[in-house]
Structure 1
């Protein structure tokens, strides 16, 4: 009997103490060892990860999602790495389904589970800003009923060969947060490798619960979404959305201020500020003090 491929999970945590125990317990149940890359958490996430049986890589500062994953995957010695958000929990049998997919589709470069959202629906993004195939320009939604190739797989959970990840240069280190998965998917596809949705590998995603709530979190999140979208658009020679995002969200911010709704103000102001920062040539890493 052929020996099963070694799989190791890599989980990036930042103030993820509330969700880490369930995430790591599922990996233990599935027989998958885990590396937790702790992005300078202040809530004891690293200690919780150690108690949960994970190997912990402690970062001196918050390096962002992609850069921390790069460090964790470099530290792994497994043939395959399973990238997962800390608020993601694998269903029983998910790893067996992944192994079946590895055998059935050995030519693929990326595999992702059927991700179930908190409301019971499952996530499947039928288009990507960067996809050059299965482009679905109108964004028609069609939920698959089995395994299929996809234009995009969510960075909330990805399985791939460690060798492939390293050969492609890992996640783009210039991105602090958001669109690093779109960028990786594009590079995998450009390398001639398929992106496969594995329907029988099921994972439950908390969506937005990876980190504890903190003041300014909405602003910061929207800043990085706007900046990263502009960055990957420039990287892949697409029309820049930066100016239009700034012109759209600037007035929205003023209207939101009149509504006295702080969350709405943060949302629009963050998007406008991220787009403006990109237009001025400021990097995401500079904003976070990582450079």
Structure 2
């Protein structure tokens, strides 16, 4: 597929990579797998399956790894960002490229995402949407191509030059809200976000990485931290107080009832919100940066 490269960020994704890469091959799309220091042989597997592989020495997070991949994609006009648990259906890439030609003023395109239960995923609003804000969150899934307030980072097609000119995904975010932030900056640049109904992607939702101990707590930490970060970035009300109160009560109740899953889930949210409130960065949390000297915040 001339002018298009698929970038797939993998982290312990050996269980889902074969189906993802096979679907891309059927669509004649070359794949670049950015391996986020997998421990399950994902990088070697991707290479055996014919993908070009960029091996990162440590887990850089979703957005930062995609930035590395899109930068390494060379002269491709478009980058197709694909989660490893996504399988593009036949004709989807042609539909996305046709939409790019039909809507030249658009900046970001996404297929119709179908969840494992057959549900059509469509998020009717975003915390950061500067237009089509839909404050009540009324869900009216489109029946054809449509402008949207948000497009999921699970599968996106973007002009590579536009992505790079905007600085890519925000490198301060390790996980979560990086797609909201990119959608916001593309919309602020005067470009529409287009849902392409004729392109279909099956999404495993949460199956990108193999399960591991502490994964839920880590995920919830970043979800809370990133929400606080993007709220501060765009001048929105600080959500940390409400997150601390809501999740603190739930964590306490889980502890009193000895529910380990609840402690991990809600305790992770409390820890992430508290870290954001006191100025700790996600990159420091993940060992990708060092703590600044006192007073540097």
Match of 2:127 among 123, 126, 129: 129
Name whichever of 280-289 and 260-269 sits farther off: 260-269
CA positional deviation for 1:47: 0.6
CA positional deviation for 1:262: 1.6
- Residue number in structure 2 paired with 1:233: 231
- Residue number in structure 2 paired with 1:103: 101
- Residue number in structure 1 paired with 2:14: 17
Q: TM-score, normalised by structure 1?
A: 0.98
Residue aligned with 1:9, SS: strand
Deviations 1:144-176 (A, max 9, x none): 100000000000000010000000000000000
Match of 2:53 among 33, 51, 56: 56
Name whichever of 255-264 and 180-189 sits farther off: 255-264
CA positional deviation for 1:260: 2.3
- Residue number in structure 2 paired with 1:144: 142
Q: 1:274 aligned to 2:272?
A: yes
Long gaps (5+) in structure 1: none
- Residue number in structure 1 paired with 2:196: 198
Is the contact between residue 250 and residue 262 of structure 2 (CA under 8 Å) also seen in structure 1? no
Q: Which runs of 4+ in 1 moved over 6 A?
A: none
Residue aligned with 1:135, SS: coil
Q: 1:37 aligned to 2:6?
A: no
For residues 86 and 5 of structure 1, what CA distance do their matches in structure 2 show?
Answer: 22
CA positional deviation for 1:258: 2.0
Deviations 1:93-134 (A, max 9, x none): 101111211111111000000000011001110100000111
Deviations 1:7-60 (A, max 9, x none): 100010000000000000000000000100000000000011101111100001
Residue aligned with 1:143, SS: coil
Deviations 1:174-215 (A, max 9, x none): 000000000000000000000000001000000000000000
- Residue number in structure 1 paired with 2:295: none
For residues 252 and 27 of structure 1, what CA distance do their matches in structure 2 show?
Answer: 42
CA positional deviation for 1:221: 0.4
For residues 86 and 256 of structure 1, what CA distance do their matches in structure 2 show?
Answer: 33
For residues 260 and 141 of structure 2, what CA distance do their matches in structure 1 show?
Answer: 35
For residues 249 and 262 of structure 1, what CA distance do their matches in structure 2 show?
Answer: 14
Residue aligned with 1:263, SS: helix
Q: TM-score, normalised by structure 2?
A: 0.96
Q: Number of matched residues? A: 288
Is the contact between residue 5 and residue 80 of structure 1 (CA under 8 Å) also seen in structure 2? no
- Residue number in structure 1 paired with 2:294: none
Is the contact between residue 178 and residue 228 of structure 1 (CA under 8 Å) also seen in structure 2? yes
For residues 165 and 223 of structure 2, what CA distance do their matches in structure 1 show?
Answer: 26
CA positional deviation for 1:259: 2.3
CA positional deviation for 1:261: 2.1
